[in-house]
Structure 1
Amino acid sequence: MPDNQTFSPEFQALLEKFTELLTGEATPERVQMVTIWCLYSHMAKVMPPLIQHWGSEPEHQQAKAEIKRIFEQIKQWNQEKNAKNTPPNIVQ
């Protein structure tokens, strides 16, 4: 197990920087949403049957809808950030 006194703050800083680069800013809410997005995306890639089973259970429908909302929000933030950073087309 990593030394939590050094690992946790360093890993938190990595999450914050990743969130900032992905969405344009690293608020606590965005960091939490990006953390959920990362973990769920990874689980869906390495254990698709688990995610499919979990998502098919009636008691998980609200959580599944919330995850979908998180994915859509992160996508929107990323598109907005990319639109701001895209230089205008210069016609000569």
Structure 2
Amino acid sequence: MNTDFENAFDSLVAKTAELITGDTSPEMMEKIKIWAFFNHVHKSLPALTSHWNQTHPEGKAEVRRIFEEIRALNQALQANKPDQK
């Protein structure tokens, strides 16, 4: 792949991670990629994710843990923001 594209895409993932969780660590960026990909596939091909969840229960548990972690970080981030009225 094109290195310029990879760098630009990584900066998009980093900004997304920052806005959603406040964390731009490489680990969080990987979690954001998993979260975004699984969320997209679940919405566009729900039968595929249902089948995958049934055949990979340990993977389903890990995806759920990632979703819950991202949601908790986002809620904490939102709670710490000053009121924007």
**Class of the TM-score when normalised by the shorter of the 2 chains:** over 0.9
User: Which residue in the other structure is 1:36 paired with?
Assistant: 34
User: Which residue in the other structure is 2:44 paired with?
Assistant: 46
What TM-score, normalized by structure 2, do the two folds share?
0.92
Gaps of at least 5 residues in structure 2 are none
Name which of 61, 65, 73 aligns with 2:61: 65
What TM-score, normalized by structure 1, do the two folds share?
0.86
Name which of 69, 75, 80 aligns with 1:79: 75
How many equivalent residue pairs? Answer: 83
Name which of 1, 17, 20 aligns with 1:19: 17
Alpha-carbon separation, structure 2, partners of 1:5 and 1:33? 22
Q: Supply the AA of the counterpart residue of 1:85.
A: K
Which structure would you say has the larger Rg? Answer: 1
**What stretches of structure 1 move > 3 A for 4+ residues in a row?**
none
User: Which residue in the other structure is 1:55 paired with?
Assistant: 53
User: Which residue in the other structure is 1:90 paired with?
Assistant: none
Structural RMSD (CA):
1.0
